[in-house]
A and B are shown apart, each in its own frame.
Chain A
Amino acid sequence: MDVAKEKELREAEALMEKNVLLTTIDKVLNWGRGHSFWPVTFGLACCAIEMMAAGGPRVDISRFGYEVFRASPRHADVMIVAGTCTRKMAPLLRMIYDQMPEPKWVIAMGSCASAGGPFADSYSMITGVDKIVPVDVYIPGCPPRPESLIYGLLQLQYKVNHPDKVRLLKHGK
């Protein structure tokens, strides 16, 4: 660790003892957002059962602050697309996404929502919801276990908390 950085950390530590916390508005907001996602209920198929199991007491996503499943997209800020999205459902999915207030994120849960899954060659399927809404996190599995969903939500939390790193990965500067 270089000397300047160490000095900065020591100063921060001294301030901590006086109960002073220095941060930026953006960081606080992102910290809050990342620790209290309100998902919109969007279960389309069997993945929804795993999503419900994740809300149950055994693997409890309320430990992370994500348990407030909203029935209205106007209250929610993350959409967990759990299941098979057909071409008939696609306009409705887009409509619900458009109704969500900013900032908003999308998690594609399971192989159907990610890439069409076993139904990719069917006449009624689109190959992944990323063709209609921008997807932040893809969770593989058919269906993914609740632990996978929690891991996906934590990845999204990391993404929300570190917009600079996401930008770096995406654009390289």
Chain B
Amino acid sequence: MGNKEVLRKNVEELASRVNGTVEEMLDYLVLTVKAPYITETLTAAKNFKETPCDFLHDIAGVDKMDHFEVVYHLTSLRGPQKLRVKAIVDRENPVIDSVTRIWPGANFMEREAYDMFGIQFKGHPNLKRIYLWDDFEGFPLRKDYVTEPPEVRNIMRVRRADE
């Protein structure tokens, strides 16, 4: 049994445990779960037998209009396996558990997703903006974000008295 079949078996077993769906997309196994299951899913994926997906490659946010998605790309330094986990997050109340306890490197990636989409990562040690400045209003990569006109953007920020 090759690496791919073992991975598929592991992922399908995991999907039945966390109410997820599995599909294959361009040579990539995609596991879609609901947000509350994410810690369980990723802990299990990290500890897969024979095909551990233990390297967190990237975290991305996606705005799907009626909900958000947080996409985790998992690979490994110990094999060719790769797995994509999508977590569906409610749009009105975008809260999901942080994975910084599983991978400390998720720190900055989650801050980026928070910066651009406003997704709250529960349990994150330092959840604040990373690219934009602290008093920026709104989350610019959301589909309903309206960019300010250049006349507003060109005004330089006035320094507050307590700075």
Please report A residues at the B interface, Cβ cutoff 8 Å: 87-88, 90-91, 94, 116, 120-127, 131-132
Contacts and interface: CB of A to CB of B under 8 A. Distances in A.
Contact of B154 (A88, A91, A121, A131): A131
B147 A123 contact: yes
B2 interface: no
A127 B150 contact: yes
A123 B145 contact: yes
B94 interface: no
8 contacts: A91-B159, A94-B156, A124-B132, A124-B140, A126-B154, A127-B153, A131-B156, A132-B156
A120 B153 CA distance: 10
The 5 residue pairs across chains A and B that have the minimum distance between CB atoms: A123-B140, A131-B154, A127-B150, A123-B147, A88-B133
Interface string B123-136: 00000000111000
A126 B140 CA distance: 15
A122 B154 contact: no
Contacts of B133: 87-88
A87 B17 CA distance: 47
